[in-house]
Amino acid sequence: MEIFSFLGRLHPLFVHLPIGFIILSILLEVYISISRIKINPKIISFSWFLSFISTLSSALFGWLLYSDGLYIEEKINLHRITGFILVFLVFIAWFFRQSYFRNAFNKNLRGILSFFIVLNLFVTGHFGGNITHGQNYLIDYAPEEIKKIFLEKETLYDEILVDLDSIKLYNDIVEPILLKKCVSCHNNNISQGDLNFSSFSLLTKGGISGSSIDKMNPRRSLIFKRITLPENNLKVMPPDGPKMSFDEINTILWWIKNFDKSEQELSLLEIPLDIQYSLNNIFNIDFQEKKWFDKIDISNLDDSSISKLSDSIFNIKFISDKKKFLSIKLLEKDLKLDEFDKLQIVKNHIAYLDISGVNVSDNLFEKIIEFKNLIRLNLNNNNITQKEIKIIQGLDNLQVLNLYGTNVSSEILNILKQFKSLKRVYVWNTKISDRQIENFNKENNGIKLIGGI
Amino acid sequence: MNCNDHKHNYKFSRRDFLTKTSLGLGALTLGSLISPTNSYGNFNVLNNKMPHFPAKVKRVIYLLQSGAPSQLDLFDYKPLLNKLNGTELPDSVRGGQRLTGMSSGQSSFPLAGSIFNFKQHGSSGAWMSDLMPFTSKIVDELCFIKSMYTEAINHDPAVTFLQTGSELPGRPSIGSWVSYGLGTDNKNLPEFVVLVTKDKYGQPLYSRLWGNGFLPSQHQGVQFRSGKDPVLYLENPPGVTADLRKEQLEYLKKLENINHADIGDPEILSRMSQYEMAFRMQSSVPEVMDVSKEPKYIYDLYGPESKTPGTFAANCLLARKLIEKDVKFVQLYHQGWDQHGDLPNAIKVQCKDTDQPTAGLITDLKQRGLLEDTLVIWGGEFGRGSYSQGTLTADNYGRDHHPKCFTIFMAGAGIKKGITIGSTDDFGYNIKERPVHVHDFQATLMHLLGIDHERLTFKHQGRRYRLTDVHGNVVNEVLS
């Protein structure tokens, strides 16, 4: 009934009355225990009576307010329990001030009772205050040192370390934010404002104030409005705990704009740069395409294995001071197989290999196929044909193949398609015609043939 | 890459001497014992010079256009200047910017629109004037930075700033830093080679622009002469054989080692390594500099001048050959862009010199797969202003120095293709978006080579120096 709701809402106003009476009663108790002047006990009894009646009525008003269902069970529980304990304690205090029992209660017991009443009063008041003003109301403007002690530390989101094609917009991005900031109040059990964020389908339904999402005007969406209200506004969401951060708000707004793509993977979405920054800040999602040297897991080379190579016919260099991958270039015009065999001890560490401008044999390619982390292979100006390239088509990491000035013909084109990671192949000055190059590139199979003049 | 791993830093200075002797003679002995051995001259995998991170760029060709080409007549299309041609440059645009003594006395500053036609080219739609028909064809390979700016307003400080990171002479050139930081990939050729177009005049070039500054002297740029003999006296004199020369050097080395043990000056070792390099160059240079085996279509690609030694075109062809031999840093200089007057005619000559060879070089590098790890840079030391220096006529004008904005372009490894970074205002006077300072450009160049510009330092006269001094941010937008 509306009248109950109306009365219920008077609770926060009314509670200040019993607080006054209780404090007055206790002050009177203290006064008579330390002063020689006698006070008529009936006055104290009457003061306690007012305290009891007003405490009881506020508790009842509070009950009415609670029945409105606007509050969360867990948050209100403590306030309710302490409230009713207070009613009981105040009743005891009044009861034993009646003339019959006055002597049953000695001075010390009276003192202890008063102490507990005051304590209970503060605790109840504090829990009540938390409900109306939010948990951090008292310390919001406190000096930093005090804040540090009381403010809860915001928990961080779990990092998302998988590829973009397995991150779903709603499930992996939006839901964790809602779970952290909204679902504690808007779930199956509580659903404040009749709003339930515990699943995507329920979320789209909206609450009492209507749909929380406005796809046409994302900024007018209720959810966006409420999370962007000023911090001291009564309607700001979330009411307790840390508010939404800029990055969270930014992400939510971007999601509303792409609401129809909620089920899609991030790799299918166009993600503006500022959203990339935000998602990176929240979930540590890396939008940079992973470089090959970050993808291949390999240990560092130790100096002893490299020192064996120091007098070879190759120029051998680390590609970075991580000492994982090598760049190797043949310095001589003549390649002896036994020299090449020396590279076996570092075969998994060879990323770039340049053996251009020499006469090479088939046997060599049987060895090259073992360099499974080879990224770039220069075979230009050699006497090779597609036959040799076919031998090494199992090089799964190979990205760049330089074949200019060789005898390869158009038969190589189908072999090239077998390479898993191949991106660019240089075929200038070979038997492949410009037209064949053009047609191959039109097929758009991830490999670009580069010809020349 | 270990910075300051050179013996230059393990000499005892007066201060070291006092510090260490005050701790006792034992400390002095220990100090020299723990001094690491020199790693220079080591040409193998144990050579401890490594990039800080995997680099996309292994080699650089820097086509420095000395004198400052007019970006307003080449790349930075400003139709408003044509519309307002002859009207006064608004003070609000100039914003109190200082001018050189050459035009500051002018009573008026009439805006001068370019008389050249601009068109968009390629699928990237880059604006280019008709002056560069060949480069226009390859714009989709290029990355333009239209918002470069510098601090100097005159040539010498500006080109010194661009090359060494400081307006004052004395710091090492970019190529020297690269040589010092990354070492060599070819023991028979220097890491840093300089080619200057011959018979061009204008702003002077000094060898300190490719000097090693305070770095050990083997890191200085080695200038190959423009002309038939890039390096003089490669041939042994009659009666001296290669073996004899080698033997002579070995004896010289023994003597120098005694000398070094006695005096301890690391420059003795530097000098020895240069003697040895010169010996190796006796056989390597004739091979690399021999362009006679190049087919006709390659000469055609670089343009008609490519057969004339010492021209920009011939130098571009040589640059490719040097890059093929793993020279790390090839620096070309082409003078004559300083067009204070008669710009429309003078710039045509310059473009004829450079347009086809530049495009030819980039095309040639691409077809050989060399753009996979080679970076080409084209640009001057500053830009040119949007008002006319001297009298503006219907078909003639001049442009004074303009440090507040200029355009450079790059092509090759590690950078995005077919993009333009930054822009200038409609007057082509101020930068509108994404300013790129010379130090930012240098930091980016170092980054592309795998060097953290903040970590490659050299201690000299009590403090650590680096190319970018205490400035520079990598321009991430250009990185691919």
Helix-strand-coil percent breakdown of chain B, rounded to 5? 40, 15, 45
pLDDT value at residue A402: 96
Q: Cβ of B352 under 8 Å from any chain A Cβ?
A: no
Phi, psi at A377, each rounded to 5°: -130, 120
* Cβ atoms of B68 and B401 closer than 8 Å: yes
Does the distance separating the beta carbons of A317 and B185 come in below 8 Å? yes
pLDDT band with cut points at 50, 70 and 90 for residue B28: very low
pLDDT value at residue A242: 81
- Measured between beta carbons, the chain B residues lying within 8 angstroms of A429 are 367
Cβ-nearest to A402 among B1, B52, B369: B369
**Of A212-226, B9-23, B184-198, where does mean pLDDT reach its minimum?**
B9-23
- Neighbouring C-beta atoms of residue A13, cutoff 10 Å: 10
Cβ-nearest to B54 among A293, A315, A404: A293
pLDDT value at residue A335: 84
The alpha carbon dihedral of B182, B183, B188, B189 has a sign of positive
pLDDT of residue B40 exceeding 50, the answer is: no
- ipTM, 2 dp: 0.86
pLDDT of residue B10 exceeding 60, the answer is: no
**Of A46-55, A202-211, B19-28, where does mean pLDDT reach its minimum?**
B19-28
- What's the mean pLDDT in A44-60? 93
Q: Cβ of B479 under 8 Å from any chain A Cβ?
A: no
Cβ-nearest to B45 among A291, A316, A428: A316
pLDDT value at residue B8: 57
What is the distance between the alpha carbons of residues A314 and A311, in angstroms, rounded to a whole number?
A: 8
- Measured between beta carbons, the chain B residues lying within 8 angstroms of A311 are 44
pLDDT of residue A277 exceeding 80, the answer is: yes
What is the distance between the alpha carbons of residues B21 and B18, in angstroms, rounded to a whole number?
A: 5
* Cβ atoms of B414 and B54 closer than 8 Å: no
Does the distance separating the beta carbons of A329 and B369 come in below 8 Å? no
- Measured between beta carbons, the chain B residues lying within 8 angstroms of A450 are 366-367, 369
Does the distance separating the beta carbons of A453 and B51 come in below 8 Å? no
Give the minimum alpha-carbon distance from A169 to chain B in angstroms, rounded to a whole number: 26
- Measured between beta carbons, the chain A residues lying within 8 angstroms of B186 are 315
- What's the mean pLDDT in A177-183? 87
Q: Round the average pLDDT of chain B to a whole number and report it.
A: 89
- What's the mean pLDDT in A155-183? 84
Does the distance separating the beta carbons of B55 and A320 come in below 8 Å? yes
**A332 CB-side CA count, 13 A:** 12
Give the minimum alpha-carbon distance from A320 to chain B in angstroms, rounded to a whole number: 5
What is the distance between the alpha carbons of residues B20 and B23, in angstroms, rounded to a whole number?
A: 5
* Cβ atoms of A67 and A8 closer than 8 Å: yes
pLDDT value at residue B83: 96
DSSP A347: G
Q: Which residues contact A141 (CB under 8 A, 6 or more apart)?
A: none
The residue of chain A nearest to residue B49, with distances taken between CA atoms, is A321
The residue of chain B nearest to residue A401, with distances taken between CA atoms, is B369
The alpha carbon dihedral of A226, A230, A236, A240 has a sign of positive
pLDDT of residue B94 exceeding 60, the answer is: yes
The residue of chain B nearest to residue A356, with distances taken between CA atoms, is B324
* Cβ atoms of B45 and A309 closer than 8 Å: yes
**Of A285-299, B92-106, B249-263, where does mean pLDDT reach its minimum?**
A285-299
A65-78 pLDDT, tens digit each: 888 766 767 778 88
Instruction: At B459, list the tokens.
Output: 């201690």
Q: For residue A356, with 0-12 CB atoms within 10 Å meaning exposed, 13-18 middle and 19 or more buried, which class applies?
A: buried
pLDDT band with cut points at 50, 70 and 90 for residue B35: very low
pLDDT value at residue B41: 34
Does the distance separating the beta carbons of B372 and A320 come in below 8 Å? no
pLDDT of residue A126 exceeding 80, the answer is: yes
Does the distance separating the beta carbons of A424 and B367 come in below 8 Å? no
Residue labelled with tokens 């239209």: B146
Per DSSP, the three-state class of A317 is strand
Instruction: Characterize the bridge pairing of strands B126-129 and B118-121.
Output: antiparallel
Q: Cβ of A305 under 8 Å from any chain B Cβ?
A: no
* Bridge partners, B111 (sequence order): B387
- What's the mean pLDDT in A4-29? 90
**Of A34-43, A245-254, A409-418, where does mean pLDDT reach its minimum?**
A34-43
pLDDT value at residue B13: 61
B332-344 pLDDT, tens digit each: 999 999 999 999 9
pLDDT value at residue B21: 53
| B9 against B300, higher pLDDT | B300
Helices A16-34 and A107-133, packing angle to 10 deg: 160
Element (H, E) at B144: strand B142-149
Residue labelled with tokens 């193949």: A401
- Measured between beta carbons, the chain B residues lying within 8 angstroms of A378 are 369
Does the distance separating the beta carbons of A320 and B53 come in below 8 Å? yes
What is the distance between the alpha carbons of residues B366 and B358, in angstroms, rounded to a whole number?
A: 12
pLDDT of residue B250 exceeding 80, the answer is: yes
Per DSSP, the three-state class of B458 is strand
Q: Chains A, B: CB contacts under 8 A, how many?
A: 83
Does the distance separating the beta carbons of B366 and A452 come in below 8 Å? yes
pLDDT of residue A323 exceeding 60, the answer is: yes
pLDDT band with cut points at 50, 70 and 90 for residue B30: very low
What is the distance between the alpha carbons of residues A328 and A312, in angstroms, rounded to a whole number?
A: 11
Strand blocks (E) in A199-272: none
**A33 CB-side CA count, 13 A:** 14
B383-431 pLDDT, tens digit each: 999 999 999 999 999 999 999 999 999 999 999 999 999 999 999 999 9
pLDDT band with cut points at 50, 70 and 90 for residue A91: very high
Phi, psi at B59, each rounded to 5°: -140, 150
pLDDT band with cut points at 50, 70 and 90 for residue A376: very high
Instruction: Characterize the bridge pairing of strands B59-65 and B118-121.
Output: unpaired
- Chosen for mutation from A277, A288, A319, A329 (greatest number of chain B CBs closer than 10 Å) is A319
Q: Cβ of B1 under 8 Å from any chain A Cβ?
A: yes
| B243 against A153, higher pLDDT | B243
| Percent of chain A residues topping a pLDDT of 70 | 97
Greatest Cα pair distance, chain B, in angstroms, is 81
Give the minimum alpha-carbon distance from B47 to chain A in angstroms, rounded to a whole number: 8
Does the distance separating the beta carbons of A317 and B50 come in below 8 Å? yes
Give the minimum alpha-carbon distance from B230 to chain A in angstroms, rounded to a whole number: 23
Q: Cβ of B45 under 8 Å from any chain A Cβ?
A: yes
pLDDT value at residue B9: 54
pLDDT of residue A134 exceeding 50, the answer is: yes
A197-226 pLDDT, tens digit each: 888 888 888 777 778 888 889 999 889 999
B424-475 pLDDT, tens digit each: 999 999 999 999 999 999 999 999 999 999 999 999 999 999 999 999 999 9
Domains and CATH numbers, chain B: 1-37 (no CATH), 46-478 (3.40.720)
pLDDT band with cut points at 50, 70 and 90 for residue B222: very high
pLDDT of residue B45 exceeding 80, the answer is: no
- Measured between beta carbons, the chain A residues lying within 8 angstroms of B46 are 303, 306-307, 310
Does the distance separating the beta carbons of A318 and B50 come in below 8 Å? yes
pLDDT of residue B372 exceeding 60, the answer is: yes
**B2 CB-side CA count, 13 A:** 13
Q: What is chain B's Cα-based Rg?
A: 24
Element (H, E) at A255: helix A246-257
* Cβ atoms of B383 and A395 closer than 8 Å: no
- What's the mean pLDDT in B91-118? 92
Instruction: At B137, list the tokens.
Output: 């064809």
Does the distance separating the beta carbons of A452 and B363 come in below 8 Å? yes
| A319 against B381, higher pLDDT | B381
Instruction: At A11, list the tokens.
Output: 């609770």
Does the distance separating the beta carbons of B369 and A378 come in below 8 Å? yes
pLDDT of residue B163 exceeding 60, the answer is: yes
Does the distance separating the beta carbons of B369 and A293 come in below 8 Å? no
pLDDT band with cut points at 50, 70 and 90 for residue B142: very high
* Cβ atoms of B421 and B144 closer than 8 Å: yes
Residue labelled with tokens 């087919």: B295
* Cβ atoms of A244 and A252 closer than 8 Å: yes
Q: Cβ of B21 under 8 Å from any chain A Cβ?
A: no
**The Cα angle at residue B385 between residues B340 and B110, in degrees rounded to 5:** 85
Q: Cβ of B83 under 8 Å from any chain A Cβ?
A: no
pLDDT of residue B6 exceeding 60, the answer is: no
